[in-house]
Amino acid sequence: GTTQGRLDGFFKVQ
Amino acid sequence: MFEARLLRSSILKKVLEAIKDLLTQATFDCDDNGIQLQAMDNSHVSLVSLTLRADGFDKYRCDRNISLGMNLSSMSKILKCAGDKDTVTMKAQDNADTVTFVFESPNQEKVSDYEMKLMNLDLEHLGIPETEYSCTIRLSSAEFARICRDLSQFGESIVISCTKEGVRFSASGDIGSANIALAQTASVDKEEEAVVIEMEEPVTLTFACQYLNYFTKATSLSPQVQLSMSADVPLVVEYRIPDIGHIRYYLAPKIDD
For B57-76, write each residue's pLDDT tens digit: 999 999 999 999 999 999 99
CB B153 within 8 A of CB B146: no
More confident residue, B24 or B121: B24
**B63 residue type, one letter:** D
Predicted confidence (pLDDT) per residue in B90-118, tens digit = 999 988 899 999 999 999 999 999 999 99
**In terms of DSSP bridges, do strands B176-183 and B196-199 run parallel, antiparallel, or are they unpaired?**
unpaired
A9: contact with B, CB 8 A cutoff: no
pLDDT band at A9 (very low <50, low <70, confident <90, very high): confident
pLDDT band at A10 (very low <50, low <70, confident <90, very high): confident
> Shortest CB distance from A5 goes to which of B126, B127, B252?
B252
Dihedral (CA of B74, B77, B78, B84) sign: positive
> Shortest CB distance from B233 goes to which of A4, A10, A14?
A10
Between CA B48 and CA B246 the distance in angstroms is 11
Q: Would you call B47 and A7 a contact, using CB atoms and an 8 Å cutoff?
A: yes
Instruction: Using an 8 Å CB-CB cutoff, list chain B residues near A9.
Output: none
Between CA B254 and CA B157 the distance in angstroms is 8
